[in-house]
Amino acid sequence: MTPSETFHWLDVERIAEELTEQREDIDDPLTVSFPQLRALVAELEGFQEQTGHPCNERILEAIQQAWIEELRDARTG
């Protein structure tokens, strides 16, 4: 995987897209706790943490919101 194919915590939209595609078993991101969300993101293919860009609650909230919006868009076509 090349660096352009990898993503990290600040790539919120990409993470939301990946979660929508890869975690179809989760209908409502609001049911996922932040520790669970952090683990789900870390398991995504292509995800790589970057030094100097740690995860925090604000980033997890942004990911959760983007995931909700991505699911809504996917469902409405």
Q: List, for residues 11-31, the tens digit of each pLDDT value.
A: 999 999 999 999 999 999 999
C-alpha distance from residue 5 to each of 2, 9, 14, 51, 77 (Å): 5, 14, 11, 18, 26
pTM above the 0.75 mark?
yes
pLDDT reported for residue 2: 52
Q: Which domain holds residue 53?
A: 3-76
pLDDT reported for residue 77: 74
* Mean of the per-residue pLDDT values of the chain: 93
For the cut 70, the answer to whether the pLDDT of residue 54 exceeds it is: yes
For the cut 90, the answer to whether the pLDDT of residue 1 exceeds it is: no
SS3 for 16?
Answer: helix
| CATH code for the domain of 71 | 1.10.10.600
Question: How many distinct structural domains can be found in the chain?
Answer: 1
